[in-house]
Amino acid sequence: MSVPQARIAQMNSIQAINLALDEAMGLDSNVILLGEDIADEEEGGVVGVTRGLSTKYGKSRVRTTPISEQAIIGAAIGAAIVGMRPVAEIMLMNFTAVAMDMIVNHAAKLRFMSGGQTHVPLTIRTMTGAGFGTGGQHADYLEAWFAHTAGIKVVAPSSPADAYGLMLSCVFDDDPCLFIENMPTYWKPGTPPEPGRRIPLGKANIARAGKDVTLVSYSRTVGDCMMTADKLSKEGIDCEVVDLRTVAPWDAESVLKSVARTRRAVIVHEAVKPFGVGAEIASRINEELFGQLAAPVRRVGAHHTPVPFAKKLETEFVPTLARIESAVRATLG
């Protein structure tokens, strides 16, 4: 489903990632795709992200795999070591747990353990996010596990155009990248990307400039931060929203620069709050800017529970707009 860009004013994340993969495969024959249900015979992925690619590039380069997460990542690692650029799909982020040995002990460490003789230019695509009533094993944000591991990059786009530009950068990066796609916002339309424009890894985006308080986020919750900022602007509260784009290595320079100006920070993510990415960022802000802060750094994340099924509980589990707003107000005293 290559999307002719000239004809559409809006594009969703499924189309944007599909376009990035299509272009990457066209640019470099070393780019191959592995994953469950990804070829067209199986409908091009459970939500259609890879639709059309096996027809265009052949089933040798776009391989539907068995439901064998260790074997998928293992095969991708082996191929990457000898110069291919595999994009391996682990359908849901919770299933990375099944492949953890391959990701953490091997993909992330082989460059270091081999003294730089080998490296693993592998991209792992995975989707997650609460909101669809998928319960405790299909919706977790687990990025902190990987951010805690040396040697793997973690990328979490917040819009279709970012998904496109960051995906191209991941595929052509020389290190393993975990690329997190938010499931509930897959179909949300956005501005189409500029063709071929790669977004650098490790660099944040100032999604909204402001002077009173800095909201730091990534993935779906960037949208929640933008809504909160819009609402508070009507009261004259001017929020800056920093979209990290890359969770690890995160752009500390941009975050610290912003907080040095606003003197207030709130970190928002859908992952559970304790021991999360927000804790690392808050700690770093405290280490660097303690004397300049006008208020303690606040964190907003999911409750420290498994993702619940019942709609009422699931809605409360994730960081709600009310909790984000309340945290921002708390920093303003």
Closest contact distance (angstroms) between CB of 29 and other proteins is 9
In 10 A of CB 234, how many CB atoms?
7
In 10 A of CB 42, how many CB atoms?
14
Catalytic residue among 138, 148, 269, 303: 138
- Which residue number, 47 or 166, has a Cβ lying nearer to other proteins? 166
Closest contact distance (angstroms) between CB of 300 and other proteins is 21
Provide the 3-class DSSP secondary structure of residue 237.
coil
Q: Does 269 bind other proteins (CB under 8 A)?
A: no
Binding other proteins by CB under 8 A: which of 46, 252, 279, 293? 252
Q: Does 198 bind other proteins (CB under 8 A)?
A: no
Q: Does 290 bind other proteins (CB under 8 A)?
A: no
DSSP 308: P
Which residues of 231-326 form beta strands (DSSP E)? 239-243, 246-248, 265-272, 298-302
> Scanning the structure block, which residue is given the tokens 């189409």?
192
Closest contact distance (angstroms) between CB of 97 and other proteins is 13
- Which residue number, 288 or 316, has a Cβ lying nearer to other proteins? 288
| Backbone phi, psi, residue 123, to 5° | -115, 130
Q: Does 286 bind other proteins (CB under 8 A)?
A: no
> Scanning the structure block, which residue is given the tokens 């640019």?
27
Tokens found for residue 217? 């986020």
Q: Does 280 bind other proteins (CB under 8 A)?
A: yes
Residue type, 171: V
- Which residue number, 243 or 280, has a Cβ lying nearer to other proteins? 280
Tokens found for residue 310? 């019942």
Do 59 and 113 meet the contact criterion of CB atoms below 8 Å apart? no
Is 106 labeled as catalytic in the residue annotation? no
What are the residues binding other proteins (CB under 8 A)?
32, 60-61, 63, 65-66, 68, 70-71, 73-84, 86, 101-102, 105-106, 110-119, 147, 150-151, 153, 173-175, 201-202, 248-250, 252, 280, 284
